[in-house]
Amino acid sequence: MRKRNRFLVLLAAVGLVATACTGAEGDGASAGSGSYPRNQTLFTSGSQWGVPSNANPFRQGDYATGTVGLLYETLFLFDPLGSKYEPWLAEKDEWVDDKTYQVTLREGLKWSDDEPITAEDVAFTINLGKMKTVPYNPLYSSIESVEAVDELTTKVTFSEPHYQQWANWVYFNPIVPKHLWDGRSEKDIMQGANFDKPVGSGPYLVEAHDQDRMVWKKNENWWGKDKLDLDMKPTYIVDLVNSSNEAALGQVLQGEIDLSNNFLPGIASLVKGGYKLETYYKDAPYMLAANTTWLVPNTTKAPLNDPAFRRALAFSVDTDKIVNSVYNNIVQKADPTGLLPIWDKYIDKGVVDELGPTYDTGEAKTLLSQAGYRDTNGDGFVENKDGSPISLKLATPSGWTDWNEAGRVIADSAKAAGIQLTAETPAAEVVQDQRESGQFDLILNNDRQMDDTPWRYYEYIFGLPVLENQTTINYGRYENQQAWDLVTQLDGTKVDDQAGMSALMSQLQRIQLTEEPVIPLWYNGLWAQYSNAVWTNWPSADGGQIVPTMWRGYPQKGAIKMLAELKPAPEEQ
Amino acid sequence: MGRYFGRKLGIYVLTFFVAVTINWIIPRFMPGDPVRTMVSRAGLQDPAGVAAMREYYTNLFGFDLPIWQQYLNFWGELLQGNFGTSLWAYPQPVGSIILAAVPYTLGLLLPAILLSWWAGNKFGAYAARKKVLDNTVLPVWYVLTATPYMWLAILLAWALGKVAGIFPVGRSFSASLQPEWSWLFINDLISHWFLPFLSLFLVMFGGWAIGMRNLVIYELEADYANYLGALGAPQRLVRRYAFRNALLPQVTGLALQLGVIVGGQIVTEIVFDYRGLGYLVLQAINANDLFLLQGIFLFIVIGVLVANFIIDIVYVLVDPRTRVGMSA
């Protein structure tokens, strides 16, 4: 009996340790006021995939959802749906002469620590661009001087004006407070987590952050309440990290998430199914078009280095099938130029009618044979001009099921036209590796979001020089100096010079459609589904026309105003 | 006694060294380049900026050093309790991420393993001498232990979580709560904990019960049991001896279970979206975060060794033969 007792004591001790561990779970991030009242809290999801690990606005690839927009603000907003710049921190701006830009802040703006927001802050933020790793460093090299003329006015003198890039900068990049950021090293600025009670100008402040959520609390002293007459409705915004889109779907259906910016392929049937769900459009395509998915050929490899072959490939793709069967019509087929619907006015319809590829297997075959690609060994697929067999691979990241499926459709339709193309699904890491080092045949990509002008879109397609590693643009390594000169010229065109821009873009479209450096296929949606259980008056085509997403880069595209438009749902009886 | 533990300790130190070395090597075989991942997050195209970023991260992760130097530095850092910086949650240190997740995993697995072990053994021994029980209840567990765990877990989540709606599925606690000491929170914590716990308990309980039942039957048929019976000892006493002898293999089994405590239940955490170490493993693999992965593996290794050491001590307590062997 004695020994048995000893054993039981040990068991009890282990048990106690276990209980202690269980108990310790409560001792998490921050002690606070318990729960966030459901009717005052907006739950969002679909922007943040990793841990919210920093509130550093300079880390444009991984700052926590809301860092720009909720915490830090930009001088202007750009509303892509209305296609206009709106003054935000700034009251007005103007080009005094061709090389001098002047921006004036609103009067009486305050940081959340009650310090005034002045031209010094604006000048300081622009000047941070001299650091090599700050994202706008390339643009900064064309700036001669930045000077705070008075309390509110900042003067920027350019050695060579990049009007388009600059117009993009003023709405995309937020202003940080000089009195707190001055003196920080480049390492602190680019690598700092900035989570320790960061001071910003925006309508929300960091409340808490945990591995799977980012919590924002309303800043009651926000300047915009008086100056913009905007009152943000949710007291708290909780942005959730979900492990998968499917997990988010369940939570939206149960009304646990109010705004889901996840890709939910079956959403079409759910919106009609009486789940209190809404999308921007009531019918197909349900979603706004956010970016263009291109088929990107590696233009350094035969036969993809031949424009005629790329054009034949473009004719072979059955995009309608992708839109219908892969996406259930929640996306739209892209224009041959790939320019988003918000840029419709820049599309030269004449050029598109003349050159734009459409799905036509017969035409693809004709083009191939005209260009000298013939099936010489009788296997049903064309061979290279030198008679060697063609075998191309289209890589899409494993687990990206919609792209994997689309890849299969593309491969099938290419095969029908006689092009031996197989779809592959390597790990995302591998695809990225191939993409940057140029070791792929074909990939899908959609790295350009809706924006103020198509300048960055063309920069993506034609950007030169081609480096050993292409990290953000021109993955296909397409080299065409003439086209890049046109893009540079476009950059030097003022954003209000519509005629000048259109003329240049028309030339670019002609080059693009004859050369097909990228093959635009469909517009990916601005995935957004909202639940009416707690909040109503969401953005919609027939209501408030605002981009409904918390994705990085979108609050400054007007999405921030959505928060002021929301209304609490009526209490259910 | 000293020599016994001395030898054991020596083996543990050696195992630790080899396992940690393997841990260090394996993640480095993963495809992809962490430096490039980090640089691409910054979204730079300008060659000067990319080069500067590259240099910074290469330096930070120590990839610019020769491989043997990296390995030695790794040990140096490790002994100071420094596991490096996570890529997935950059710039948080790996150590703090793991520490935040550990309570959830232990809180889930320790009770599940220990309770199922205790209850399973009791039940198994009881069923061994109750024909009715043996023929009715135990077969249910034959089926349960034979079902793929993944399927059982999904079924539970669906039936009790989605359809009946009794328990929440997903996350370790509700998104609308803040971690704190309050009934509201603790209640929420337990309700999120229950389903994953139940799924583990059910499966493991069956395993222990079936094993114990077989062992007890075997022991009851052994010569010593018959002899004791022939001497006229009460059946209760015979059974107690049989139980204690049958327990020994089960203790070894427990040691193995506790050993894989962390690594073995990744599926549970994924199915129930429970945010412990298993969830971290998945995230680390997805994010190509070799430092985090390496840290978790290290934690698993330590877990295995500590569990084995505890069981070694338990053996001394419960098995007289070990003690005899030691003094001999």
| Over residues B78-97, mean pLDDT | 85
Q: Are A132 and B52 within 8 A, CB to CB?
A: yes
Of A53, A135, A467, the CB nearest to B47: A467
Chain B environment of A6 (Cβ under 8 Å): 317
State both tokens at A155: 């003067």
Q: Are B314 and A433 within 8 A, CB to CB?
A: no
E strand or H helix that includes residue A237:
strand A236-240
Q: For A38, which residue in chain B has the nearest alpha carbon?
A: B176
Mind telling me how many Å the CA of B183 is from chain A's nearest CA?
Answer: 10
Chain A environment of B34 (Cβ under 8 Å): none
Name the least confident of A85-89, A156-160, B166-170, B200-204: B166-170
| Over residues A90-108, mean pLDDT | 94
Nearest to B199 by CA among B140, B269, B261, B247: B269
By CB neighbour count within 10 A (0-12 exposed, 13-18 middle, 19+ buried), where does B241 fall? middle
Q: Are B176 and A35 within 8 A, CB to CB?
A: yes
The residues, ordered by sequence, that sit 6+ positions from A116 with a Cβ below 8 Å of its Cβ are A108, A109, A110, A151
Residue from B38, B176, B269 whose CB has the most chain A CBs within 10 Å, to mutate: B176
The residues, ordered by sequence, that sit 6+ positions from A456 with a Cβ below 8 Å of its Cβ are A168, A448
Mind telling me how many Å the CA of A296 is from chain B's nearest CA?
Answer: 18
Name the least confident of A16-20, A186-190, A207-211, A270-274: A16-20
Chain B environment of A247 (Cβ under 8 Å): 170, 273
Q: Report whether pLDDT(A10) > 80.
A: no
pLDDT value for B5: 80
Distance, in Å, from the CA atom of A465 to the CA atom of A220, rounded to the nearest integer, reads 48
Chain B environment of A28 (Cβ under 8 Å): 100, 178-179
Nearest to A399 by CA among A213, A289, A243, A239: A243
Residue from A10, A19, A21 whose CB has the most chain B CBs within 10 Å, to mutate: A21
Band of the pLDDT at A24, cuts 50, 70, 90? very low
**Considering just the CA atoms, what is the radius of gyration of chain A in Å?**
26
Of B42, B275, B317, the CB nearest to A212: B275
| Over residues A15-33, mean pLDDT | 39
Q: Report whether pLDDT(A88) > 90.
A: yes
List, for residues B228-269, the tens digit of each pLDDT value.
989 988 988 988 888 888 888 888 888 777 766 666 578 888
CA dist A355 to A38, A289, A351, A391, A523, Å? 55, 24, 6, 27, 20
Distance, in Å, from the CA atom of A174 to the CA atom of A181, rounded to the nearest integer, reads 13
CB atoms within 10 A of CB A465: 9
Distance, in Å, from the CA atom of B258 to the CA atom of A17, rounded to the nearest integer, reads 14
Band of the pLDDT at A540, cuts 50, 70, 90? very high
Q: Are A132 and B279 within 8 A, CB to CB?
A: no
Mind telling me how many Å the CA of B146 is from chain A's nearest CA?
Answer: 28
Band of the pLDDT at A163, cuts 50, 70, 90? very high
Chain A environment of B118 (Cβ under 8 Å): 11
CB atoms within 10 A of CB A519: 27
Chain A environment of B287 (Cβ under 8 Å): 50
Q: Report whether pLDDT(A112) > 80.
A: yes
End-to-end CA distance of chain A: 64
CB pairs under 8 A between A and B: 192
End-to-end CA distance of chain B: 10
Chain B environment of A251 (Cβ under 8 Å): 170
Q: Are A41 and B176 within 8 A, CB to CB?
A: yes
List, for residues B44-75, the tens digit of each pLDDT value.
767 777 888 888 888 888 888 888 888 888 88
Q: For B55, which residue in chain A has the nearest alpha carbon?
A: A133
Q: Are A32 and B288 within 8 A, CB to CB?
A: no
Q: Which residue has the tokens 């998968």?
A: A244
Name the least confident of A111-120, A338-347, B219-228: B219-228
Chain B environment of A237 (Cβ under 8 Å): none
pLDDT value for A155: 95
Q: Report whether pLDDT(A364) > 60.
A: yes
Name the least confident of A17-26, A450-459, A560-569: A17-26
Q: Are B31 and A430 within 8 A, CB to CB?
A: yes
Mind telling me how many Å the CA of B136 is from chain A's nearest CA?
Answer: 30
E strand or H helix that includes residue B108:
helix B94-128
Chain B environment of A38 (Cβ under 8 Å): 176
Q: Report whether pLDDT(A564) > 90.
A: yes
Chain A environment of B89 (Cβ under 8 Å): 50-51, 53, 211
Q: ipTM for the complex?
A: 0.78
State both tokens at B64: 């610019």
State both tokens at A82: 């209305």
Distance, in Å, from the CA atom of A240 to the CA atom of A249, rounded to the nearest integer, reads 13
Chain B environment of A192 (Cβ under 8 Å): 91
| Over residues A362-366, mean pLDDT | 94
Mind telling me how many Å the CA of B48 is from chain A's nearest CA?
Answer: 7
pLDDT value for B133: 81
Q: Report whether pLDDT(A18) > 70.
A: no
Q: Are B178 and A208 within 8 A, CB to CB?
A: yes
Q: Are B182 and A430 within 8 A, CB to CB?
A: no
Chain B environment of A43 (Cβ under 8 Å): 175-176
Share of residues in chain B with pLDDT > 70 (%): 96
Q: Report whether pLDDT(B18) > 80.
A: yes
Mind telling me how many Å the CA of A89 is from chain B's nearest CA?
Answer: 25
A430-A431-A434-A439 Cα dihedral, nearest 10 degrees = 110
Distance, in Å, from the CA atom of A134 to the CA atom of A141, rounded to the nearest integer, reads 12
Residue from B30, B45, B280, B291 whose CB has the most chain A CBs within 10 Å, to mutate: B45
pLDDT value for A200: 94
Share of residues in chain A with pLDDT > 90 (%): 69
Q: Report whether pLDDT(A414) > 70.
A: yes
Higher pLDDT, B220 or A18: B220
| The one-letter amino acid at A251 | Q
User: What is the secondary structure of B142-178 as a DSSP string?
Assistant: HHHHHS-HHHHHHHHIIIIIIIS--S--SSSS-TTB-
pLDDT value for A27: 35
The residues, ordered by sequence, that sit 6+ positions from A42 with a Cβ below 8 Å of its Cβ are A233, A234, A236, A237, A238, A258, A259, A535, A563, A566
Q: For B314, which residue in chain A has the nearest alpha carbon?
A: A7
Q: Are B56 and A43 within 8 A, CB to CB?
A: no
pLDDT value for A525: 92
Q: Are B47 and A54 within 8 A, CB to CB?
A: no
pLDDT value for B127: 86
Chain A environment of B88 (Cβ under 8 Å): 50-51
Q: Are A62 and B41 within 8 A, CB to CB?
A: yes
Share of residues in chain A with pLDDT > 70 (%): 94
Q: Are B114 and A15 within 8 A, CB to CB?
A: yes
Q: Report whether pLDDT(A16) > 60.
A: no
pTM of this structure: 0.84
List, for residues A490-526, the tens digit of each pLDDT value.
999 999 999 999 999 999 999 999 999 999 999 999 9
Q: Report whether pLDDT(A313) > 50.
A: yes
Q: Is B190 helix (H, G, I), strand (E, B) or coil?
A: helix
Q: Are B40 and A427 within 8 A, CB to CB?
A: no
List, for residues A165-197, the tens digit of each pLDDT value.
999 999 999 999 999 999 999 888 988 889 889
Of B107, B176, B317, the CB nearest to A21: B107
Q: Are A432 and B36 within 8 A, CB to CB?
A: yes
By CB neighbour count within 10 A (0-12 exposed, 13-18 middle, 19+ buried), where does A379 fall? exposed
Of A34, A61, A470, the CB nearest to B43: A61
Per-range mean pLDDT, top range of A345-349, B30-34, B158-162: A345-349
pLDDT value for A4: 43
Q: What is the mean pLDDT of chain A?
A: 89
Of A3, A24, A38, the CB nearest to B103: A24
Of A32, A433, A463, the CB nearest to B180: A32
Q: Is A525 helix (H, G, I), strand (E, B) or coil?
A: strand
Chain A environment of B283 (Cβ under 8 Å): 50, 243
Q: Report whether pLDDT(B326) > 80.
A: no
pLDDT value for A13: 43
Q: Report whether pLDDT(A296) > 60.
A: yes
pLDDT value for B158: 84
Chain B environment of A54 (Cβ under 8 Å): 90-91
